[in-house]
Structure 1
Amino acid sequence: MRDNKECCPYCNADLKREPIPKESQKVYGSAHFIRKIGINSIEGDRIIKWKCPDCNKEWDRD
């Protein structure tokens, strides 16, 4: 079963990309690049939603 952090919950598109080079993984906090788009909150200066680049649907971060 796929984790929703790596797949779109609507169209099930694989959002996981190529591996991040080992020397840069600590900076990115992940082992792979991810295609999902973060939607920012200006008031809170944080990502509040994700958006799928394939179907353009959004879902809550939490």
Structure 2
Amino acid sequence: MGKLNDNRVFCPHCGADLQGDPIPEEIQHHYGATHSSRKIGISSMKEDCVIKWQCPDCKGQWKRKL
């Protein structure tokens, strides 16, 4: 198995680190990542997917890159 993503992302508005808690090593392969994310996904009923993200600290929002 290749290297897993650590979900290291920073808020484009306030610079907060959005990497969450570590995922237990024995189940990381289910998530494809070593850590959870603190980003809040905002979805659209019309598009039936996450369309933008929100920072839990500053509440700033940005479009999801597809």
Q: Please report the TM-score for the alignment, with normalisation by the length of structure 1.
A: 0.81
- Separation in 1 of the partners of 2:47 and 2:27? 27
Give yes or no for the alignment of 1:35 onto 2:38. Answer: yes
Task: Work out which of the two has the higher radius of gyration on C-alpha atoms and give 1 or 2.
Answer: 2
Structure 1 alignment gaps of length 5 or more = none
Q: After superposition, give the CA deviation of every residue in 1:10-53 in whole Å (9 maximum; x if it has no partner).
A: 10001112211122222223210111100001112111100000
What is the number of equivalent residue pairs in this alignment?
A: 58
Report the equivalent of 1:7: 10
Report the equivalent of 1:45: 48
- Separation in 2 of the partners of 1:20 and 1:33? 6
Structure 2 alignment gaps of length 5 or more = 1-7
> Which shows bigger deviation, 12-21 or 49-58?
12-21
Aligned-residue RMSD, C-alpha: 1.3
